[in-house]
Each structure stands twice: as structure tokens, then as C-alpha cells.
Structure 1
């Protein structure tokens, strides 16, 4: 997965980590300077789903805008030529 926070923030006129930190505080999420640096500069090692929800609310975005799949890094089944996620989705649709 690619962490796309800076691009999503930039599309909303937020260009600095401090600006986003202030916006998140307005939505009830207090983020330390160290954690904010990690969120801003690269993919976070871990992130609470509740924090992710607040980030999405503060940026008025969907999770899929922040977390973008990188298909090149997803293992593909050699027999079917499909990813596990694609196979799972098909199985859910067909009930198999």
C-alpha cells in the first residue's frame, strides 16, 4: 500500500505538517510532533483505525485516497494469474 497523505492534503490546500496537525486537533485528534513527522514524511508503521477515520474526516476524503494499492507488490497466483483479493471478491459474489 502507498501512503498518500501529502498529496491528499495538498489537494486541499494543506502544504505543511503543522497545518494538518492543527486541522486534526480541530477534529479531536492530538498528534505529537514526532508522530506527525512520521505521518507526513512516509508510510506510518502503525495507525489506529479511529485515527485514520479522523484523518479522513479532517481532509474530507475516503480511505482509498490515503491508502492506494500498489499492484506490483501484490503477489499473484501463478496458476490463475490473479491476486488473492480479486479471487476473494469473486468468491464473495458467487457464494463459493
Structure 2
């Protein structure tokens, strides 16, 4: 599920986009495409990318850069995403790519509907309750 989080730091409101294991609000998986976009510009190492980001005004720790470079981040500040897109000369949708096929593969199969005695019986999730005493 995607969530936007507002936090106040040093008197300034900051917006974070939480990717939560790469899923969007509609349940679609997201693929983080930073390395491919960097490779298109000839940036092959995270240290080079970190240097370019620093030149653009975004100081990232080595640990955070490693996490951005090697995997899908769980959240990223929109300010940071804006600078990353500026450095890579791309749009956010080129870094965050939807993968609806991956979500479809993870969805459970639909329950079968049975007809018993002329009534349609659809299984329901949840606690089975007994009838109240008569």
C-alpha cells in the first residue's frame, strides 16, 4: 500500500512517499529502476552517482546510497526523488515502474461457488458463528 507521510523537521514540512515493499495503493508492485537509468548516462558505480547527487545538492550517506543502488527503497523523500530525477534527466515514473503482472501472480485464486439444494453457497472468510439459541 502506498502512503504519503508528512513530517516536520527543523520547522520545515517534508513529504515522504512510502513504497511499503514496492506496492502501490492499488496493490501493484513497483520496480525501482535507478541502476538502469544511471547506466543509460554511463554511471556504473554508486560512488559516482553519490558524487553527482552531492554536486546537485543532495548529500547521501554511503549506507543510504547503497540501499538505493542495490534494492527497492521502502520510502524516499520527494525532495530527494526530485534531485535524483534531475541528475538522471528523467521523470519519477521512469524510476518507479509498475508491475501489475507480479501482483496478479500473488493474488489468491477465487473461491469456487457451489450450488446446493438450489442455493448458491459462497465461502466467506472469517470466524464461523453458530446460530443463537432458539
The reply to whether TM is greater than 0.5 is yes
Structure with larger RCO (C-alpha < 8 A, sep 6+): 1
Q: CA RMSD in A?
A: 1.3
Residue 49 of structure 2 is matched in structure 1 by 20
Which ranges of structure 1 fall in alignment gaps of 5 or more residues? 77-96
Report the Cα distance in structure 2 between the residues aligned to 1:16 and 1:57, rounded to whole angstroms: 18
Report the Cα distance in structure 2 between the residues aligned to 1:68 and 1:45, rounded to whole angstroms: 14
Residue 97 of structure 2 is matched in structure 1 by 68
Bigger Rg over Cα: 2
SS where residue 76 of structure 2 aligns? coil
SS where residue 69 of structure 1 aligns? strand
Match of 1:42 among 45, 63, 71: 71
Runs of 4+ in 1 over 6 A off after TM superposition: none
Report the Cα distance in structure 2 between the residues aligned to 1:48 and 1:70, rounded to whole angstroms: 22
TM-score by length of 2: 0.54
Which ranges of structure 2 fall in alignment gaps of 5 or more residues? 1-29, 108-134
- Structure having the larger proportion of residues in strand: 2
